[in-house]
Amino acid sequence: MTRRITISLPDDVAAYVERTQGNTSGFIAGILRRKMRADSLRARWAQLGYLVTDQDVERTRARLAAQPPISDEQHARNLEWLSRFDDEGTAGA
């Protein structure tokens, strides 16, 4: 079942979605599902006593951004390993 809603996007964001994705609804639904999974994961970690803040996430992103890039081969191996933990088998998406 689906429900129709109307949203407003800044011009640059709307242009990007239209130019690169084609299916705006599907694109936004995918992003929201990723957010839902992330929120669920954070909630589960909190139940286990691990609190992850937005600052923790930003600090980790900054650390990762400072790392040298990995090879395409290593990237492929990483995606293969991660796919074992992905219910949908879409770790690379």
Q: What's the pLDDT score for residue 47?
A: 96
pLDDT given for residue 88 in this prediction: 59
Domain tally, the chain: 1
Domain with 55, as residue range(s), is 11-68
Q: Is residue 78 part of a domain?
A: no
In a domain, 44, yes or no: yes
Compute CA distances 33 → 53, 57, 69, 85, whole Å. 20, 18, 28, 17
Residue 73 domain-assigned (yes or no): no
Q: What is the pLDDT of residue 26?
A: 87
Q: Output the tens digit of pLDDT for each of the chain's 93 residues.
A: 889 999 898 999 889 888 887 788 888 899 999 999 999 999 999 999 999 999 999 999 999 999 999 999 999 999 999 999 877 555 444
Q: What is the pLDDT of residue 93?
A: 47
Rg (CA), the chain: 17
Q: Which residues contact 18 (CB under 8 A, 6 or more apart)?
A: 24
Residue 80 lies in a domain: no
The answer to whether residue 29 sits within a structural domain is yes
Instruction: Evaluate whether residue 79 is within a structural domain.
Output: no
Would you say residue 59 lies in a domain? yes
pTM, two decimals, is 0.58
Classify residue 92: in a domain, yes or no. Answer: no
